[in-house]
């Protein structure tokens, strides 16, 4: 039942977007369907979800994770005999509230945003619960940074860090971000990333610079995490991830170009699109890391989500010009097609199809 409702809502939202409409009630119903899919998921094939469920059952998440905020909430829910499905529902509600906060601030087309996030992101997050919580808070942080509230950005990123420590690697973005003109330091970072990629290729992905850099931090936990991530080379498998990154980089470049020609878009929307543009280039630093381990793709996925929000924020202001609207439709269909194709290549199955099958509401 829930599977059929998902496909119906997905196609209906697509028709609404193509016909230049906005139906907020439909977007809410689609979100409600996603809520029941997320909360009702009982599949055990998601590798990390099995571990989350098992550790939640014994109420000892703090023994396995060093992320204090997640441990506090997970153990509190577990100790009060609240089912894991309810815990999943609460995670979804909290993260949805974060998304809604940003979407409302940016006047997003909710139908389009739900459509894009339904492609894979909400289902992918079933594997990365802590990172889902962290990126949801980080999303609000990046919105405030786009409006030049740097101290709020730092504070929210610290809160996000308590849910998942790895989110802290987005914090240096504040050094490179400029609200108006792109920083020369950002282009230098891109150049360094390209050099590291070439270095990795020349030495067969066995560079030791990554572990050397992280060893300077002195934390044994950090060292063990880095050794875990860099224990195996991805060989040429990184090409698939780099290709999707390049596709999304081109999308952010085109969004910025279109935003310059849209006169009726609010300043906060154009500011956010500029942030996404710069964040896409900043994320090149993760490309050489992906050559060590595909676990680093989570950082690129966050950039993709920023792109999704930027598309949904700009689309309502593109409808007064046929040329702009046509460009917008190309972007929307391009993102839909490329994302589905990429995830099919990556997982040999579409994430939403895999996640829909075992559900309490089917």
What pTM did the predictor assign?
A: 0.85
Q: Please report which confidence band the pLDDT of residue 254 belongs to, taking 50, 70 and 90 as the band edges.
A: confident
For residue 321, give both structure tokens: 């010009």
Query: Alpha-carbon distance 318 to 327, whole Å?
Result: 9
The per-residue pLDDT of the chain, averaged, comes to: 79
Query: Alpha-carbon distance 282 to 173, whole Å?
Result: 7
Question: Which residues have C-beta within 8 Å of that of residue 147, sequence separation ≥ 6?
Answer: 268, 271
Any idea where the domains of the chain sit in the sequence?
A: 1-127+349-362
Check pLDDT > 90 for residue 306: yes
Check pLDDT > 50 for residue 286: yes
pLDDT (0 to 100) of residue 361: 67
Instruction: Tell me the mean pLDDT in the region 173-188.
Output: 84
Among residues 205, 190, 191, 192, the alpha carbon closest in space to that of 291 is found at 205
Query: Alpha-carbon distance 65 to 78, whole Å?
Result: 15
Q: Please report which confidence band the pLDDT of residue 348 belongs to, taking 50, 70 and 90 as the band edges.
A: very low
pLDDT (0 to 100) of residue 106: 94
pLDDT (0 to 100) of residue 27: 92
73-105 burial code (b ≥16 CB/10 A, e <16): bbbebbeeeeebeebbbebbeebbebbeebbeb
pLDDT (0 to 100) of residue 322: 46
- Note the pLDDT tens digit of each residue in 78-122: 888 888 889 989 999 999 999 999 999 999 999 999 988 888 788
Check pLDDT > 90 for residue 7: no
Among residues 138, 130, 126, the alpha carbon closest in space to that of 169 is found at 138
pLDDT (0 to 100) of residue 153: 95
Please report, rounded to a whole number, the percentage of residues in the chain having pLDDT higher than 90. Answer: 24
Q: Please report which confidence band the pLDDT of residue 61 belongs to, taking 50, 70 and 90 as the band edges.
A: low
- Residue carrying the six token digits 């786009």: 146
Please report, rounded to a whole number, the percentage of residues in the chain having pLDDT higher than 70. Answer: 73
Q: Please report which confidence band the pLDDT of residue 44 belongs to, taking 50, 70 and 90 as the band edges.
A: low
- Note the pLDDT tens digit of each residue in 225-250: 555 555 455 555 567 777 778 888 88
Instruction: Tell me the mean pLDDT in the region 50-71.
Output: 72
Check pLDDT > 50 for residue 349: no
pLDDT (0 to 100) of residue 104: 94
Check pLDDT > 90 for residue 211: no
Residue 274 φ/ψ, nearest 5 degrees: -65, -40
Q: Please report which confidence band the pLDDT of residue 47 belongs to, taking 50, 70 and 90 as the band edges.
A: low
Q: What DSSP character marks residue 358?
A: S
């Amino acid at each position: 039942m829930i599977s059929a409702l998902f496909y119906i809502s997905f196609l209906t939202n697509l028709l609404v977007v193509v016909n230049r409409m906005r139906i907020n009630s439909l977007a809410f119903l689609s979100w409600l369907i996603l809520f029941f899919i997320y909360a009702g998921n009982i599949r055990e094939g998601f590798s990390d979800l099995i571990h989350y469920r098992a550790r939640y059952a014994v109420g000892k998440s703090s023994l396995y994770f060093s992320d204090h905020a997640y441990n506090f909430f997970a153990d509190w829910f577990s100790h009060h005999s609240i089912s894991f499905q309810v815990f999943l529902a609460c995670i979804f509600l909290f993260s949805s509230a974060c998304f809604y906060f940003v979407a409302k601030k940016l006047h997003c087309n909710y139908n389009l945003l739900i459509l894009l996030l339904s492609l894979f992101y909400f289902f992918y997050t079933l594997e990365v619960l802590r990172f889902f919580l962290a990126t949801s808070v980080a999303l609000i942080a990046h919105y405030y940074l786009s409006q030049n509230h740097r101290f709020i950005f730092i504070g929210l990123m610290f809160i996000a860090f308590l849910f998942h420590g790895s989110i802290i690697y987005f914090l240096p973005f504040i050094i490179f971000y400029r609200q108006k003109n792109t920083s020369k330091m950002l282009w230098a970072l891109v150049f360094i990333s390209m050099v590291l990629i070439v270095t990795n290729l020349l030495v067969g992905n066995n560079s030791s610079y990554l572990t050397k850099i992280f060893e300077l931090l002195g934390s044994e936990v950090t060292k063990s995490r880095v050794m875990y991530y860099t224990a195996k080379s991805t060989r040429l498998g990184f090409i698939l991830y780099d290709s999707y990154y390049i596709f999304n980089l081109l999308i952010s470049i085109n969004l910025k170009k279109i935003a310059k020609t849209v006169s009726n878009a609010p300043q906060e929307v154009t500011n956010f699109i500029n942030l996404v543009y710069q964040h896409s280039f900043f994320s090149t630093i993760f490309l050489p890391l992906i050559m060590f381990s595909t676990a680093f793709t989570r950082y690129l996925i966050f950039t993709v989500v920023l792109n999704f929000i930027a598309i949904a924020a700009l689309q309502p202001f593109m409808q007064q010009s046929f040329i702009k609207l046509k460009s917008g439709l190309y972007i929307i269909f391009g993102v839909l097609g490329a994302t589905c194709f990429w995830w099919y290549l990556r997982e040999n199955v579409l994430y939403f199809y895999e996640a829909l099958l075992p559900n309490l509401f089917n």
